[in-house]
Each structure stands twice: as structure tokens, then as C-alpha cells.
Structure 1
Amino acid sequence: MKNRIKVLRAEQNMTQADLANHVEVSRQTINAIEKGKFDPSLPLAFKIAKLFERTIEEIFIDESL
């Protein structure tokens, strides 16, 4: 699943580690999500969306549609 996390992090001057700390996962998890190697759970997607004040649909792009 594609996403805009890296762009949103850059806009906030946030590192992967910073984001990981805010949403209570490892930096490696954030890296894998950004690279499309791992799809976040729904609760994690909601945490990320809330942190960036966006909807899940604004951050994550479902390529199967």
C-alpha cells in the first residue's frame, strides 16, 4: 500500500524515530510502512492519521481500487 508518511514527516521535520515514538512502534516498523513492505494495522493507521491531522484516506492509497 502506498502512503504519504515520508512527505508528511518531512513537512513536520520529524524523523522516523520521532514518528515511531509518537505512535508507539519501532523505527523499523515506520521504515517498512514507508517503503510499502508492511501495511499498518487499522489502530496504527488511525494513530498516524490523528498525529498528522489527516484522514486515513489522505495518507494511505489503496492501489487495488
Structure 2
Amino acid sequence: MLELAAVRIASSQTLEEVQLLVRQSKDLCEAADQFAMDSPGPEALGRFREAQLRLAEAERALHLAEQGSP
């Protein structure tokens, strides 16, 4: 699933857009982590896991885009 999402992202966006997505995803992870520290619980854990998944997809897409093989 991660690979499919990464391929979709890499094939539909420019390298610069994917780089921006990675930066935004990192920011989202940091915000989700802070939320979890401030308000621990199932909702916070869900937000954090979702943010980590989106970051992993974006980083994989960046790798594919840099290799030129989405």
C-alpha cells in the first residue's frame, strides 16, 4: 500500500512538489507528536500513526522521483 501511494504521488507531481510534500509531512508528524505529548490517548496515537504513514509515503515518493522512476 505504501509503495502504491508513493508511485501515485511521484507520477502525479513534480520533484519540487514532492519535496514540499515531504517537508509538510515532517511538520505534520511534529505537530502530531506534540499533540500526543499534550493529550495522550487513542485519538493522539491515531493522528501520529497517520502522520507517520503520510511521511513514509512522501519520502518513498521523493526517492522514486529523484531516481526518475515513478
TM-score range, shorter chain: under 0.3
Tell which has more relative contact order, 1 or 2 (C-alpha 8 A, sep 6+).
2
Q: Normalized per residue, which structure has more helix?
A: 2
Larger Rg over CA atoms: 2
What's the TM-score once normalised by structure 1's chain length?
0.27
What's the TM-score once normalised by structure 2's chain length?
0.26
